[in-house]
A and B are shown apart, each in its own frame.
Chain A
Amino acid sequence: MEQKKLAIIATKGTLDWAYPPFILASTAAALGYETQVFFTFYGLQLLKKDLSDLQVSPIGNPGMPMKMPFGPDWFQDINWNIPNIVQTNVPGFEALATSLMKKTIAKNGVATIPELRSLCQEAEVEFIACQMTVDLFGFEHSDFISEGVEYGGAATQRQRLLFLEGGH
């Protein structure tokens, strides 16, 4: 049987957007796909040694439900419609939203990002960090996890995409 391959591009560096690439990559690897994730722009944050800085921002994110992870059911069902002007002016609003999101994640038995990332590595998902954006943002290789990360350019990724497009 021909080896199935999958390439995923991670471009976002927030707690919420960290989930899709890691979930898809770990699952694809479990299904027997040779999987590669290309981290570019803000997606580089997902390769940092310390992932505790990842935040979620409800500002400019109208699709994000604002619900409380505690209290009686009727209270948890309320979708708080908080105007942007309040969100931007209340100090620590993002930190609060992040902490509520983390509580919701834990309560629902959803894996944490560090957990999903190590599951990807265990399953031999290849991580490629975009060298151009590493330079652009002034990051150092020492900011990132050292194991299982390669540095490359679009061509490193392109090769795999061509494989995909070629139906291999």
Chain B
Amino acid sequence: MADFDDELDASGLNCPLPILRAKKALGGMDAGKVLHIIATDPGSVKDFEAFAKQTGNELLESAEEGGKFHFYMKKV
């Protein structure tokens, strides 16, 4: 597991809530810091890819483990 500075548990939440919560969490973080997001919505895999592409934040890692999706997003 990668290192991270902040964690957001978006388990049980559905589109578009994980993205909106992540955006808010990243807003309160300094550039270069890493946010670890946990989600259960399978749609979030594509959504976080698109989110990274559109916002410029870097998606360091995207993985599935035991029905949960883990994303590591580095703030630009």
Tell me the A residues contacting B by CB distance below 8 Å.
23, 26-27, 30-32, 108-111, 119, 122-123
Contacts and interface: CB of A to CB of B under 8 A. Distances in A.
A162 B56 CA distance: 26
A26 B19 CA distance: 9
A23 B55 CA distance: 18
Contacts, number: 39
A110 B15 CA distance: 7
B57 to A, nearest CB: 10
B16 interface: yes
B20 A32 contact: no
B69 interface: no
Contacts of B16: 23, 26-27, 30, 111
Contacts of A109: 12-14, 17, 40-41
B23 A111 contact: no
B20 A108 contact: no
A31 B55 contact: yes
Interface residues of B, number: 17
Interface string B13-41: 11111011011100000000000000011
A110 B40 CA distance: 12
Contacts of A23: 15-16
Interface of B: 12-17, 19-20, 22-24, 40-41, 50-51, 54-55
Nearest to A30: B23
Given A26-B16, A30-B22, A109-B17, 4 more contacts: A31-B50, A109-B14, A122-B24, A123-B23
A32 B13 contact: no
20 contacts: A23-B15, A26-B16, A27-B15, A30-B16, A30-B19, A30-B20, A30-B22, A30-B23, A31-B19, A31-B51, A32-B54, A32-B55, A109-B12, A109-B13, A109-B14, A111-B13, A111-B14, A111-B16, A122-B24, A123-B20
Contacts of A110: 14-15
